[in-house]
Structure formats: C-alpha cells, structure tokens
Amino acid sequence: MVPLRLALAQLNVTVGDLDGNRRLVEEAIRQAQAWLADLVVVPELAVTGYPPEDLLLKPQFVEANLRTLARLAPWTRGLVALVGYVDRDRRGRLFNAAAVLAEGRHVATYRKQFLPNYGVFDEKRYFTPGTDSLIMEAQGCRLGVTICEDVWEEQPIRALAAAGARLVVNLSASPYHAGKLKERERLFALRARRNRVAIAYCNLVGGQDELVFDGASLVLDARGRLISQGAQFREDFLVVDVVPAHLRPPTGDGASRGARGRVVVVPSVGGDRPRLPAQRQRAYPPVEEIYEALTLGVRDYARKNGFSTVVLGLSGGIDSALTACLAADAVGASHVVGVVMPSRFSSSETQEDARALAEALGIERRELSIEPMFQAYLQTLAPHFGERQADVTEQNIQARIRGNLLMALSNKFGWLVVTTGNKSEIATGYCTLYGDMAGGFAVIKDVPKTLVYQLARFRNRRGPESPIPASVFTRAPTAELAPRQTDQDTLPPYDLLDRIVKAYVEEDRSLREILQTNRAAPETVACVLRMVDRSEYKRRQGPPGIKITPKAFGKDRRMPITNRFQQQ
C-alpha cells in the first residue's frame, strides 16, 4: 500500500447551528483536499453539535440535519469524508451515525452500536443502536468505522479486526474531566495492541453548557504507540500519514469474519505526496489542564450565547479572584467588569484586595455599596421579624442584594453574570440561592476549594503578572455576611471537607465507608452528608457550570429533592 493520508478535523461546532457547522465541515474538507488527504474525519454529530438533547425530538430538526448533510456531499471530490450526523430510518427511528461521503455522494452509513446512557449521557432516550459494522477499503487498507462509545467496549474493535480492518477510525464527542485524557490514551493503546489495529480518533473540541470537549485527537499504530496528537482545548487539524510499518500485515483474503456488515471500496487519491512529520503536543500538567478547560468553558458559553462582556462580584476572596482571572483569560480583560459591593461587614482589607486584583488584571471595576438597600430591607422587615435574633436570614438578604445589583447591570448592559461559588460550597449549600448563586454561568461550580487555591497559585505563577494579592491566599476564608465570620464556623476544614465531598458525591461512598478511610469525627461526616442532601433544592436552581470532575452536580448527578434516605 501507499501511505494512507488521514486528516482529523478537530472542530468546535455549536449545537443547533447547522449552517455554521456545515461551513466548518466544508472548510475541513477543503483543507484536507489541499493536503491531498485520502480521508477526512470530523467529530461525532458534527452536523448538529453534541449533545443536541431534545432538539432530536423535533422532526424539523432532524430534517434540517439531513438537508445539511446532503449539502456536504458535493464537496467531496478526490477524497472521502466521514461526517457525524443524525440518521433516520423509514420507521422514524434515529441513529447516531457517520456518513461516508465520496465522489460527491453519500455512499454508506455507519450507525453507532453502543449508546451511552449513564453519567451526562442520555443516548438511549433518542437513538436506536446500529447492528452492522462498516469497513471501507482505501489505498489497499481496510478501515473500520466506529463512533465514540463503540471503542470503550471491547466487542466492536475485535469484530472489525477479525473482519480484516487494520485501522479503526473513531468519531467522538468525549466530554472532559480531569484525568480523562490519560484514561483515553491508555484505553486506546490497549485496544490497539490487543487487536493489532491502528486507531485514528477524532474528538470534538469546545464548550457546550456544562460540558467541555477537549479535543486531543490522536493516531496510534497497531502496537498502541502514539503517532500523532492534536491540541487539547482548541481547534486543530491533524494530518497523518499511516504507513505499512504502523499496521499489521494484511490478512490473506480479507474476508469478513465475525462482523455483520459490509465493505465499501472508496476511491484512492494516490499520487506522490511528500511524507509528513508527526505532530505532538506538549501535555498540560494536571492543574494547568483544568485551568485551560475552565477558560474554554467560559469563552464558549459567552461566545455561543452571544455575550461579549462578563460581569462578576469581587469580594476580595479567592473564589472571585480565580473566576475573574478565568474570565479575563477567556474573553479578554477589557471585556470583564468586576463589581465590588461592600457592606457593614466588609473589611477594608478584602475591599483593597478586590481593587488590587481588578487593577492587576486590567479589568473594569465598579463599586456599589449595598448598605442603602440592606437598611431598607431591615426596616421593612422589622415589624414582621419583631424580637427575633439576626440569623442566616440577614446574611442571605445581603447576598441577594448583590445578586440583584449584578443582574440589574446585566439587564441594562447585556452582560453575562458569572457566579463565583466553588464545589465545596455548592455541595454543602454554603451559598445563597438568588444571591451569590445568581447568574448565567457558574465557572468554578465543579472545582473544590482546595483546587481553587491550586488553580489560583498556578495563575499567579504563569503570569502575566501575579494578579491575585498574596493576602487572598493567607486570609481565612469568610463570606463577610456577619461579624467576625469565617467559613470554618460552619464547615469542617476544607481539606477534610473536600475529601468527604469527593467520596460522597463523586464516588457514592456510604457514611461508614467514609469514616473507614478518613480520620474524622462521625458527627462531622454525618453533618456534611446531611448538608449535601438538604441542599439539593438549591443546586436545582443554580446556573450551569463547567464539569471538570468525573461527577459534577448537574446532568451527572440526578438526585430527587424530596428524599428521606438516611445516610448509613
């Protein structure tokens, strides 16, 4: 065989933007043609964006997706394109599919066989699983086609290898969480080695509501060794020459064994092409990787929803400091407004830190005291509250005044309010519904407090400048909603809290198991679990935010609000 030239177009498509997505795929096809590639691959459901959710229940949406796909076929002169789209059969059943477009026609279709229906995925809500495999023959090499989950299972690759495939292509939309890339690389290497097939994996990139797709598309040889890899967290176009040394030798007759399906022979380009060098990316260290994921998540939420400016409250604490940095890195400092909203409980130190941060980051700063409103609320409510002691009520009023002010600025100027609550707070309900939880996007909602500090330290280290004042790191965390308040009046130390939250929320451990693996007072752990359970109603009304852990609050964790289960 001559070398097989693959182009993997790691696109940032947008859910529902059929015309925009079509233009991105067309551009990828043109670019692949310019590279004289044999095959260009785009991500899973590139036509519709991923996940399209209940748009799929609208027949007019599925129709429009089919029309969009039909407009792509004519562009495929001289190469083959594998394009993710929604297929529909005569009975109206939907399939998560890949179209083989070649010589201006839609020549074959592969339908995803394994439909994820766990975690953030609901594919069985929409799709019928495919039953047949698809093998293409190009440049004398057999290529098997798979979509995302298909390769997380053992069976499809095994069947394709048995049917003579020497390279398996995977169209994917694999959401990011910390550590997922390594997991993916290990899995693909294992699948390649075990089945003696090369793997070409094309992943989506970009943010969609709570999900970030991280790209990092890759090509492995039949021994599981990395040939080439695309960038993480940005669009990329990977062109790879797969040569015989990357593949196991072809089997005798190439007859289909074990796989139900068909072989499609696609045209070859052939011709002389200078050999391409392999592409490799610097792997991000763990904390930087998360920082990049968060930046992309904010940038795409703002951009895809039509916001150019982001506004947030600056308290002088670490959470709002980190969120401001992320916002500035995502949309540019000149498009970020930080609002300082002091009350009678705000210290001059925290206000100074908030100002210093805004200054160092180069973002616009506004100051609005909440005292006049707070006074008015207290006076209005006084006849109703009578002799009752001040409690969390008065704290929430302050937080809600701030929420109202930020929303007023948002309404007047069309800015996106981003919230600054971290996962530790949102888990325990140490936050105010309609107060600090008010906003369109919760940037660090899946980031535990201990990781907030690591990310903030990373950002100061990386530069430019060290925007977060040193005192922000050393001051005891406080909501400043009552005299001499600190978070640890209410919560256990954050390193312990974060371990409990991880065990309970992400790993579904029981009270007993958590006590076995953590040195902590049983009443402390039990209290945290109760706080998590009782805050479900708050989380249900919180804004979406970026998933960076294996289990985020949101689509990942669907708990009833009405729930009397006693943790054991």
Stretch that binds its own copies, among 191-199, 281-289, 370-378, 486-494 (CB under 8 A): 370-378
List for the chain the helix, strand, coil content (%; round to 5): 40, 20, 40
| Nearest distance from C-beta of residue 300 to its own copies, angstroms | 8
Neighbours of 66 (CB within 10 A): 16
| 412 lines the binding site for its own copies (CB under 8 A) | yes
Burial 220-232 (b: 16+ CB within 10 A, else e): bbbebeebbbbbb
Q: CB-based contacts of 442: which residues, under 8 Å, 6+ apart?
A: 418, 419, 421, 426, 542, 543, 544, 545, 546
Nearer to its own copies, 124 or 280 (CB): 124
In angstroms, what CA-CA distances link 143 with 4, 6, 445?
10, 11, 42
Give the Cα separation of 28 and 228 in Å (integer): 18
| 352 lines the binding site for its own copies (CB under 8 A) | no
Determine which residue in the list 90, 282, 519, 558 makes contact with its own copies, applying CB under 8 A: 558
Assess whether 141 carries a catalytic annotation. no
| 52 lines the binding site for its own copies (CB under 8 A) | yes
Across the strands, what pairs with 201? 170, 218
Give the Cα separation of 91 and 424 in Å (integer): 48
Stretch that binds its own copies, among 8-16, 259-267, 348-356, 421-429 (CB under 8 A): 8-16
Determine which residue in the list 190, 408, 470, 521 makes contact with its own copies, applying CB under 8 A: 408
- Chain residues 442-501 in contact with its own copies, contact rule CB under 8 A: none
| 154 lines the binding site for its own copies (CB under 8 A) | no
Q: Which helix (H) or strand (E) segment is 232 a member of?
A: none
Stretch that binds its own copies, among 122-130, 241-249, 250-258, 444-452 (CB under 8 A): 122-130
Nearer to its own copies, 190 or 378 (CB): 378
| Nearest distance from C-beta of residue 377 to its own copies, angstroms | 6
Task: Out of 141, 148, 325, 431, pick the active-site residue.
Answer: 148
What are the φ and ψ backbone dihedral angles of 245, each rounded to 5 degrees? -65, -25
| 58 lines the binding site for its own copies (CB under 8 A) | yes
Give the Cα separation of 424 and 318 in Å (integer): 13
Q: Are 247 and 141 in contact (CB under 8 A)?
A: yes
Give the Cα separation of 318 and 299 in Å (integer): 21
Stretch that binds its own copies, among 31-39, 321-329, 455-463, 540-548 (CB under 8 A): 540-548
Nearer to its own copies, 334 or 393 (CB): 393
- Chain residues 159-218 in contact with its own copies, contact rule CB under 8 A: 207-209
Nearer to its own copies, 106 or 402 (CB): 402
Which of 442, 418, 416 has the alpha carbon at shortest distance from 553? 442
Q: Are 525 and 519 in contact (CB under 8 A)?
A: no
Nearer to its own copies, 228 or 315 (CB): 315
| 563 lines the binding site for its own copies (CB under 8 A) | yes
Determine which residue in the list 393, 486, 488, 517 makes contact with its own copies, applying CB under 8 A: 393
Side chain identity at 419, as an amino acid letter?
Answer: T
Q: Are 431 and 425 in contact (CB under 8 A)?
A: yes
| Nearest distance from C-beta of residue 444 to its own copies, angstroms | 18
Nearer to its own copies, 140 or 522 (CB): 522
| Nearest distance from C-beta of residue 305 to its own copies, angstroms | 6
Nearer to its own copies, 264 or 529 (CB): 529
Q: Are 502 and 423 in contact (CB under 8 A)?
A: no
Burial class (CB in 10 A: 0-12, 13-18, 19+), 121: middle
| 124 lines the binding site for its own copies (CB under 8 A) | yes
Q: Which helix (H) or strand (E) segment is 146 a member of?
A: strand 141-147
Nearer to its own copies, 3 or 342 (CB): 342
| 74 lines the binding site for its own copies (CB under 8 A) | no
| Nearest distance from C-beta of residue 60 to its own copies, angstroms | 4
Task: Out of 112, 304, 423, 547, pick the active-site residue.
Answer: 112
Stretch that binds its own copies, among 96-104, 190-198, 227-235, 394-402 (CB under 8 A): 394-402
> Mind giving me the DSSP string for 409-474?
HHHHHTPEEEE---HHHHHHT-S-TTTTT-SSEETTTTS-HHHHHHHHHHHHHHSSS--S-HHHHH
Which of 42, 5, 298 has the alpha carbon at shortest distance from 138? 5
Task: Out of 44, 123, 149, 480, pick the active-site residue.
Answer: 44
| Nearest distance from C-beta of residue 545 to its own copies, angstroms | 12
| Nearest distance from C-beta of residue 568 to its own copies, angstroms | 6
Which residues of 221-288 form beta strands (DSSP E)?
226-229, 236-242, 261-265
Q: Are 457 and 285 in contact (CB under 8 A)?
A: no
Assess whether 63 carries a catalytic annotation. no
Determine which residue in the list 368, 426, 431, 525 makes contact with its own copies, applying CB under 8 A: 368
Determine which residue in the list 388, 463, 483, 484 makes contact with its own copies, applying CB under 8 A: 388
| Nearest distance from C-beta of residue 183 to its own copies, angstroms | 20
Assess whether 44 carries a catalytic annotation. yes
Stretch that binds its own copies, among 33-41, 45-53, 253-261, 355-363 (CB under 8 A): 45-53
With CB under 8 A, what is the number of residues at the site for its own copies?
86
| 70 lines the binding site for its own copies (CB under 8 A) | no
- Chain residues 418-447 in contact with its own copies, contact rule CB under 8 A: 433-434, 438, 440
Give the Cα separation of 381 and 426 in Å (integer): 28
| Nearest distance from C-beta of residue 533 to its own copies, angstroms | 9
Give the Cα separation of 238 and 10 in Å (integer): 8
| Nearest distance from C-beta of residue 563 to its own copies, angstroms | 4
Catalytic residue annotation: 44, 112, 148
